């Protein structure tokens, strides 16, 4: 891994490399450059997971032509695909070194902070939310029960915007969550359930199920479960698996062709 | 092109959450929670998440201001501190040291708080020292 990155930096395939390094005992994201190539000896995969692609997006905003290399778990890769689709990053400017990751619907194996307690360190305690809740598990309960539970979860919200801020695929300069017509400002908890539902709707076709939002939520709202449900609908209606490829998304309206084509609905067919 | 990720401690309250500053070309671009920090374990409140805005705010005072005939005039630290010291001496001479109180804060470090109480007791000569957390 280190040798490959070294070659990349030396032959200028990339200008900077985003990886991890231990700083003061913490595994932190680190920017490796050609000028300080000796630092590459400290390059690690890192047990704590940060959104390197979000850092890459920020760097690209300042310096659009810079070539960035980065370590990529599956979630990073899915996020990159979404960011390519939405023109936030240019695939030609990104090189990745793929590393093992956490389990998801797309891939089962993993070795990161999302795993069971024996492989996770102190940095990932299993408190509150079971991070691997699936929509099917919850749908066993009846609707009023589910509503009560969701309202209970939502009213815990302290409106820190952590779920949005940490999200690798949240890049809008103007956010609906801060729009006073949509979400009434100045109240705590924020207007529920609309605050969380606005975000959930925006996660359709965007959420790559990385679980960083749930990690960052100070009050343990099972956000990953909510967005999983939203994306389940996207799969059922558009047959689109978010982040699986960098091909155009059915939600992408930029470009010459309209791509929002739902699968034929059965009810429409019977009417005809 | 320079990009640094700098670990730090949130300065908003006394909790001491671990944070990371994303510094791009010398400017703090965003704030992230430090995932492995024992205090906040990768979580932050809204104030912590927006620390960079407070650092980059155009309303931030970078130089001391002295109110001269009703208007705030930018000045140098030496002059501002000198002026404050003179006014304090005047007040203490006229009304006694107990006319002055020192209010410290959870945002300061232990050492700074110690210095502040030392300043109150040894320099000003009052026991009027209090803390914003003792509401």
Q: Which one, of A247, A246, A244, A224, lies nearest residue A235 by Cα?
A: A244
Which alpha helices (DSSP H) does chain A contain, by range? 2-10, 52-62, 74-85, 135-138, 143-155, 162-166, 194-202, 212-216, 223-238, 266-271
pLDDT tens by residue, A12-55: 888 999 999 988 888 899 999 888 888 888 888 877 788 999 99
pLDDT value of residue B75:
93
Longest dimension (CA), chain A: 69
Contact between residue A149 and residue A140 where contact means Cβ atoms under 8 Å apart: no
pLDDT score of A122: 45
Residue A115 pLDDT > 50, yes or no? Answer: no
Are B121 and B107 in a shared domain?
Answer: yes
Q: Tell how strand B18-24 and strand B3-9 pair up.
A: antiparallel
B47 and B80 together in one domain: no
Examine residue A247 and say whether the peptide bond preceding it is cis (omega within 30 degrees of 0): no
Is A28 close to B18, i.e. CB distance below 8 A? Answer: no
B45 and B80 housed in the same domain: no
**Inside any domain, residue A104:** no
Average pLDDT value for chain B: 91
In the predicted structure, residue A102 carries a pLDDT above the cut 80: no
**Is residue B90 located within the same domain as residue B127?**
no
Among A89-103, B60-74, B90-104, B112-126, where is mean pLDDT lowest? A89-103
Residue A145 shares a structural domain with residue A231? yes
- The pLDDT value recorded for residue A109 is 52
Q: Cα Rg for chain B, rounded, in angstroms? A: 19
- Give the 3-state secondary structure of residue A192: coil
- The answer on B51 and B8 residing in a single domain is yes
My answer on whether B19 and B34 are in the same domain is yes
pLDDT value at residue A166: 92
Query: Is A115 within the bounds of a domain?
Result: no
Whether B77 and B104 map to the same domain: the answer is: no
Backbone angles phi, psi at A70, to 5 degrees: -155, 155
Residue A267 lies inside a defined structural domain of this protein: no
How high is the pLDDT of residue A114? 45
Q: Is B22 close to A58, i.e. CB distance below 8 A?
A: yes
Q: What pLDDT is attached to residue A254?
A: 58
Residue B75, classed as helix, strand or coil, is coil
Helix A74-85 to helix A52-62 angle (10° resolution) is: 30
Model confidence, pTM? 0.80
Any domain includes A106: no
Clarify whether residues B90 and B102 are in a common domain: no
Report which of residues A73 and A56 the model is more confident about: A56
- Chain A residues whose beta carbon lies within 8 Å of the beta carbon of residue B46: 158-161
Instruction: Give the largest CA-CA distance in chain B.
Output: 58
**Which of B9, B17, B36, B37 has the most A C-beta neighbours within 10 Å, making it the best mutation to test the interface with A?**
B36
User: Do B14 and B49 sit in the same domain of this protein?
Assistant: yes
* Residue A135: per-residue pLDDT: 80
Tell me whether residue A155 is in a domain. yes
Asked if residue A140 and residue A93 are part of one domain, the reply reads no
Query: What's the total number of domains in chain B?
Result: 3
Range of the domain at B22: 3-56
End of a domain among A98, A124, A152?
A98
- Are residues B127 and B112 part of one domain? yes
Please give the tally of structural domains in chain A: 2
Query: Cβ of A26 and B36 within 8 Å?
Result: yes
What pLDDT is attached to residue B98?
94
Region A153-179: what's the mean pLDDT? 90
Q: What is the dihedral of CA A208, A212, A213, A216, to 10 degrees?
A: 180
Taking the C-alpha atoms of residue A19 and residue A38, their distance in angstroms, rounded to an integer, is: 14
Residue pLDDT, tens place only, B76-132: 999 999 999 999 999 999 999 999 999 998 878 889 999 999 999 999 999 999 988
A92 lies in which domain range?
2-98
Q: Pull the structure tokens for residue A95.
A: 């090189």
pLDDT at A2: 84
Q: Which two tokens stand for residue A67?
A: 């070539």
**Dihedrals phi, psi of A113, to nearest 5 degrees:** -65, -5
For A21, which residue in chain B has the nearest alpha carbon?
B5
Residue in the block written with tokens 């009703």: B70
- Measured between beta carbons, the chain B residues lying within 8 angstroms of A30 are 5
For the beta carbon of residue A26, count every other beta carbon within 10 angstroms: 18
Q: Which of A82-91, A136-145, A147-156, B42-51 has the lowest mean pLDDT?
A: A136-145
B24 and chain A: CB distance < 8 Å anywhere?
yes
Distance from CA of A238 to the nearest CA of B (A): 34
Nearest to B1 among A16, A29, A58 (CB): A16
Residues A83 and A162 in one domain: no
Say if A25 falls within a structural domain.
Answer: yes
pLDDT of residue A255: 59
Q: Are residues A139 and A56 in the same domain?
A: no
**Residue A46, SS3?**
coil
From residue A247, alpha-carbon distances to A51, A64, A74, A89 in Å are: 22, 22, 17, 14
Among chain B residues, the shortest Cα distance to A166 is held by B32
* The pLDDT of residue A113 is above 50: no
Residue A119 has pLDDT above 50, yes or no: no
A187-232 pLDDT per residue, tens: 888 888 888 999 999 998 888 888 888 888 888 888 888 888 898 8
Residues A230 and A157 in one domain: yes
Contact A49 B35 (CB under 8 A): yes
Tens of pLDDT, residue by residue over A4-18, are 888 888 888 889 999
Residue A231 vs residues A71, A92, A209, A234, B108: alpha-carbon distances, Å: 26, 28, 9, 5, 46
For the cut 70, the answer to whether the pLDDT of residue A124 exceeds it is: no
**Nearest-by-Cβ selection for A50 from B2, B32, B48:** B32
Q: Looking at the structure, tell me whether residues A219 and A158 fall in a common domain.
A: yes
Nearest CA in chain A to B20: A28
Chain A residues in contact with B48 (beta carbon < 8 A)? 160
Cβ-count burial of B81 within 10 angstroms (0-12 exposed, 13-18 middle, 19+ buried)? exposed
> Does pLDDT of A259 surpass 60?
no
pLDDT of residue A108: 55
ipTM rounded to 2 decimals: 0.78
Same domain, B90 and B131: no
User: Pick the residue with more confidence: A247 or A125?
Assistant: A247
User: How distant, in Å, are the alpha carbons of A23, A30, B13, B102, B109 from that of A44?
Assistant: 11, 10, 33, 48, 33
Average pLDDT over residues A237-254: 77
């Amino acid at each position: 891994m280190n040798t490959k990155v070294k070659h990349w930096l030396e032959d200028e395939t990339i200008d900077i490399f985003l990886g991890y390094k231990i700083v003061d005992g913490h595994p932190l994201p680190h920017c490796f450059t050609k000028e300080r190539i000796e630092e590459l000896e400290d390059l690690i995969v890192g047990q704590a997971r940060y959104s390197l692609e979000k850092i890459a997006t920020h760097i690209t905003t300042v310096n659009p032509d810079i070539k960035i290399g980065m370590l990529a778990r599956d979630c990073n890769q899915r996020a990159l695909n979404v960011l390519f689709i939405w023109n936030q990053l240019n695939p030609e400017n990104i090189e990745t070194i793929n590393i093992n990751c956490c389990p998801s619907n797309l891939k089962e194996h993993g070795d990161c902070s999302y795993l069971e307690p024996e492989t996770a360190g102190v940095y990932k305690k299993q408190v509150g939310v079971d991070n691997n809740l699936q929509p099917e598990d919850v749908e066993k309960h009846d609707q009023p029960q589910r509503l009560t539970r969701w309202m209970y979860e939502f009213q815990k919200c302290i409106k820190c915007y952590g779920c949005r801020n940490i999200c690798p695929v949240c890049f809008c300069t103007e956010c609906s969550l801060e729009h006073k017509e949509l979400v009434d400002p100045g109240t705590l908890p924020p207007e529920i359930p609309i605050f969380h539902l606005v975000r959930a709707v925006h996660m359709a076709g965007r959420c790559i199920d990385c679980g960083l939002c749930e990690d960052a939520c100070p009050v343990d709202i099972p956000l990953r479960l909510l967005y999983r449900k939203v994306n389940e609908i996207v799969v059922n209606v558009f047959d689109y698996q978010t982040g699986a490829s960098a091909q155009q998304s059915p939600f992408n309206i930029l470009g010459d062709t309209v791509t929002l084509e739902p699968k034929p609905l059965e009810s429409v067919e019977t009417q005809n | 092109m320079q990009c640094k990720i700098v670990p730090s401690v949130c300065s908003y309250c006394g909790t001491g959450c671990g944070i990371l500053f994303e510094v791009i070309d010398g400017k703090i671009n965003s704030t992230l929670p430090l995932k492995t920090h024992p205090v906040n374990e990768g979580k932050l409140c809204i104030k912590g998440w927006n620390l960079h805005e407070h650092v980059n705010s155009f309303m931030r005072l970078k130089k001391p201001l002295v109110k001269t005939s009703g208007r705030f005039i930018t000045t140098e630290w030496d002059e501002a501190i000198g002026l404050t010291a003179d006014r304090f001496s005047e007040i203490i001479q006229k009304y006694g040291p107990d006319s002055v109180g020192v209010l410290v804060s959870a945002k300061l470090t232990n050492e700074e708080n110690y210095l502040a109480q030392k300043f109150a007791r040894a320099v000003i000569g009052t026991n009027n020292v209090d803390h914003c957390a003792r509401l």
